[in-house]
Structure 1
Amino acid sequence: MFLSLADIRRCSLRDRRWSGRRRAQPRSVCWQCAQRNASTRRQGVAREDLYRVLGATRDSSPAEIRRAFLEQSQRWHPDRNPGDERASERFEAVKTAYQVLRDATLRAAYDEAGFAGLDAVISVESRHERMKDALKEVQQLERDNASTEELAFWGLDGSNLALLEGAEPVVPSDGGASSAVDQPTDARPRSVAEAIANLNHPDEGYRYYAVWWLSRFRVREAADALVAVLRHSTDRTALGGYPLRRRAALALGNLGALEALTFLQEALGNDEDWHLRHRAAEAIAKILMQQPSYMPNSQLTEALLSRLETFQSEAHNETESVTLPPGFDLSTLDEAKRARLLEIFAKRRADEARARRSTQTPTLGVDLQSAMMQEPYEWLLKALGYVAGRMRSDPAVWARYEDRFVSAMRPLTKHPVPLVQYAAHKAMYQATGKVEHLHALHGALEFGAEHHFSQRVLVRDLGELGQLESASAIANCAMVENSFKVFAIRQIIQRCNLELTHSALDPLFHLLDDLL
């Protein structure tokens, strides 16, 4: 049996398309697949003129081509000719002809050179698509620092395919011409020194990426440079905020930089940017969490307490007020009816807030412009919880602050935002050791008690507290993924100050076995 050159080419294209990972096929290759399938079913019958298949002429307009296709497809549709094999074959031929003649490029090639012209277009387009795909693979492998062996494994020759890529502009230096390789054109730092230098780059994008990069890789030697950004960055948003300072504060928190605490306290008092206050409070809490041996000084304690007390005094009147639905005037009602209606309105607001509870949506029946929503209560409470827990080790120091801590934190256990409410319970437990606050956290893990995003945060917080009795509540939380639970129980084991062989840890190991 002898194969024609066209048969060999079609087999080669088929093998390349279906070997390994399937690539996107150009429209002409799709037509080729349909034509090959139709010709296979016709068992070697010569290909028929496409215009004749549709009953059209070479002078037919696109609208006439479409009309002819609709007529022929209705005539030969298999549903209208059940059991007629010839009708099915004819219907496939009509579809194939229309796929070619409706495309201006393919129709022009067919008009000029017939099926040979179509084969040429198919060959060029398929080769072009393969080369584009190959080039993309090489570029991706190079970005991932792929080795020569990896390129060879995929059958790609990077030295040849690189010729298809546009050249980078070459800027001559004082010592002569330099290549584009010597002058990177992206914001990705090649070293720690370059990342730190990029914090002062004239391009805003470079500065943002440098802060993220230093935070992502926990570069401790960059702490001083990030403090400078936190204090002196002049980047402003349209609303007057300091976006780069916010990112620098978050990065310092991820680094656990104790030397930045003083400057984060200053940022906590920034009245122009409430987002910066949130990031500063979050950074302080994260630093205290990462530095368990650090004993906070009186300056930090006063800063955190005073900010929390100030925030609460500003929001006090708003929390006491009751907002009535529009159209209601209770002034003419007697006391009993007025009290009953106020109770109904309060319950309705509470139910609506409960239905919308989510970690990322703080608008739980509270005005966004309210002082209650403008301050970082959650992270301030977490920071104060760490401070209180460490102060309790020195009874003389704790005696001076205990009443003030409790009076500042207890009202927030009734805050309308769930994560603030539970952060207050966590801080109160760290400050007083009363199990009622720990049980409040356990109750929030029950099915449907809170949104599962909030429950993830609570699982993490309970792990940080390190109490053995929390392990069962964590393991039984149905709405949180097992990976979160395993990490939290592992934290409890690490923080409970017991030897791994202690019998009290056996139930926790059984819980881990069940979760894994």
Structure 2
Amino acid sequence: MNDESQIEAGEPLTIAQALENLNGEDLGSRAYASWWLGKFRVKEPAAIIGLIAALNDEADRTPEGGYPLRRSAARALGKLEDLQAVPALIECLNCTDFYVREAVAQSLEMLGDVRCIPFLIELLAPAICDGKLLPNGEDFSQPYDAILEALGTLGATTAVSSIQPFLEHPIPRVRAAGLRAMYQLTQDAVYGDRLVQALANSDLQVRRALLSDLGAIGYLPAAVPISQAHAENSLKLIALKGLLETQIMLSPFDRLSDGAIEVMQLMDELL
């Protein structure tokens, strides 16, 4: 069970109670309050201030040295769309907790502030030497998939040379995140096509992640392969929705593009 599924078991709160609990002594109540504030998009200044402070929490520690409250606070800050959290989140990229760094990268991606780009690139640097990945096997030292996805969403063209080596990473999820980012940054179909080809992976979890990637980049040539992928129809529909949204943006003002119509027909067939 992950952090959020454990937290969701808590009792309903009011905003005032959540803010009080966030700054209280009970660790469980603090974690639940931070999740609740993000879940319900409470954008009051006191919530932002309290969640930023929670990024430095030392009280809530797991036996393995993790920081559950920091993780929850980082996730919440990404949902609240307040850029004053960006410097504190950037600083938190140095946290010793892998899952805090993962949550921070995801939240920085959501906030869309390009100030974080050099710091995300810096997290990739130790894995690269002379333009290639170091031969250290399945490297789990950083949340590479979250970092790569953030750089792609943020339009970090300066990161292309740092992302390229990860296209050969031994972990399929990391390779896919690199391909997703490279397509977003270059619009080169070769990267989209490689994501489509990877849908043949025998691992269902990998296929699910690939559907999300293809939906996120709105890659129209993936429409039919998405509809035929061996995965749940609900996930295929979500991915196709991403393609449809892209096609609608590209459509003339007075009609839908042929691509949008094609995607809608495929979605109808899955319903």
Taking structure 2 as the reference length, the TM-score comes to 0.85
Q: Contact 2:133–2:166 at 8 Å: present in 1 too?
A: no
Q: Report deviation, 1:220.
A: 2.4
Residue in 1 that maps onto 2:43? 220
Structure with larger Rg: 1
Q: Cα deviation per residue 1:164-202 (whole Å; 9 max; x = unaligned)?
A: xxxxxxxxxxxxxxxxxxxxxx96353111101101222
Say whether residues 1:495 and 2:246 are aligned partners. yes
Cα distance in 2 for residues equivalent to 1:481 and 1:264: 35
Aligned counterparts, 1:278-427, within 5 A: 278-288=102-112, 296-297=113-114, 299-312=115-128, 316-319=133-136, 366=138, 372-388=139-155, 401=158, 405-427=159-181
User: How far apart are 1:312 and its partner, in Å?
Assistant: 3.4
Q: Deviation of residue 286 (structure 1)?
A: 3.3
Deviations 1:65-87 (A, max 9, x none): xxxxxxxxxxxxxxxxxxxxxxx
In structure 2, relative to structure 1, the CA distance for the partners of 1:231 and 1:508 (3 Å cut) is: same
Change (3 A) 1:235 1:387: same
Distance 1:464 1:316, change over 3 A: closer
Q: Unaligned regions of 5+ residues in structure 1, if any?
A: 1-185, 289-295, 320-364, 367-371, 392-397
Write the deviation string for residues 468-499 of structure 1: whole angstroms up to 9, x where unpaired: 2221121111x211111112212211123125
8 Å CA contact retained: 1:311, 1:375: no
Q: Distance in 1 between matches of 2:260 and 2:184?
A: 22
Q: Which of 472, 480, 484 is the equivalent residue of 2:231?
A: 480
Q: Does residue 1:265 correspond to 2:16, yes or no?
A: no
Indicate which of 189, 193, 198 corresponds to 1:435: 189
Alpha-carbon displacement from aligned partner over 1:281-330 (angstroms, at most 9, x marks no partner): 22222333xxxxxxx43x322111122113435x95443xxxxxxxxxxx
The answer as to whether partners of 2:19 and 2:50 remain within 8 angstroms in 1 is: yes
Deviations 1:127-157 (A, max 9, x none): xxxxxxxxxxxxxxxxxxxxxxxxxxxxxxx
1:510–1:239 distance in 2 versus 1, CA, 3 Å: closer
Taking structure 1 as reference, are residues 423 and 490 closer, same or farther at Cα in structure 2, changes over 3 Å only? same
State the distance in 2 between where 1:382 and 1:462 align: 12
Letter in 2 for 1:373: F
Contact persistence 2:35–2:72 (CA under 8 A): yes
- How far is the alpha carbon of 1:233 from its aligned partner? 4.6
The CA distance in 2 between the partners of 1:467 and 1:317, in whole Å, is 31
The letter for the 1-side match of 2:101 is R
Conservation of the 8 A alpha-carbon contact between 1:463 and 1:489: yes
- CA drift of 1:262 comes to 1.6
* Alpha-carbon distance in 1 for matches of 2:167, 2:81: 28
CA distance, structure 2, for counterparts of residue 450 and residue 260 of structure 1 = 40
Residue 266 of structure 1: CA displacement? 0.7
Contact 1:282 1:380 in 2 (8 A): yes
SS in structure 2 of the partner of residue 469 of structure 1: helix
Q: Distance in 2 between matches of 1:425 and 1:483?
A: 23
* Equivalent AA in structure 1 for residue 170 of structure 2: P
AA aligned to 2:107 is A
Give the residue type in structure 1 aligned to 2:245.
Answer: Q
Instruction: State the partner residue of 1:194.
Output: 17
The residue type paired with residue 239 of structure 2 is A
Displacement of 1:380: 0.5
Q: Alpha-carbon deviation of 1:239?
A: 3.1
**AA partner of residue 281 (structure 1):** A
- For 1:312 and 1:199, how far apart are their aligned partners in 2? 40
How many residue pairs match? The answer is 255
1-side partners of 2:127 and 2:173: how far apart? 17
Equivalent position of 1:468 in the other structure: 220
- Write the letter of the residue equivalent to 2:267: L
Correspondences of 1:171-250 after superposition (within 5 Å): 188-221=11-44, 222-250=47-75
Kept in 2: contact 1:278–1:379 (CA 8 A): yes
| Partner amino acid, structure 2, of 1:425 | L
CA distance in 2, matches of 1:189, 1:506: 43
Q: Structure 2: how far apart are the matches of 1:461 and 1:511?
A: 18
Q: 1:506 aligns with which of 258, 261, 265?
A: 261
Output one character per residue of 1:378-409: Cα deviation in whole Å (capped at 9) or x when no partner. Answer: 01100111122xx6xxxxxx5xx3xxx22211
CA 317–495 in structure 1, closer or farther in 2 if over 3 Å, else same: closer
Give distance in 1, aligned partners of 2:216 and 2:205: 17
Distance 2:235 2:63 in 1: 38
CA separation in 2, counterparts of 1:282 and 1:379?
6
Does the 8 A contact of 2:89 with 2:108 survive in 1? yes
Trace 1:31-70 onto structure 2 (pairs within 5 A): none
Deviations 1:57-103 (A, max 9, x none): xxxxxxxxxxxxxxxxxxxxxxxxxxxxxxxxxxxxxxxxxxxxxxx
Q: 1:206 to 1:383 in 2, by over 3 A?
A: same
Q: Structure 1: which amino acid aligns with 2:150? A: A
Deviation at 1:257, TM superposition (A): 3.8
User: 2:19 corresponds to which letter in structure 1?
Assistant: I
Query: Does the 8 A contact of 1:189 with 1:210 survive in 2?
Result: no
Q: CA-to-partner distance for each residue in 1:336-364, whole Å, 9 max, x for gaps? A: xxxxxxxxxxxxxxxxxxxxxxxxxxxxx
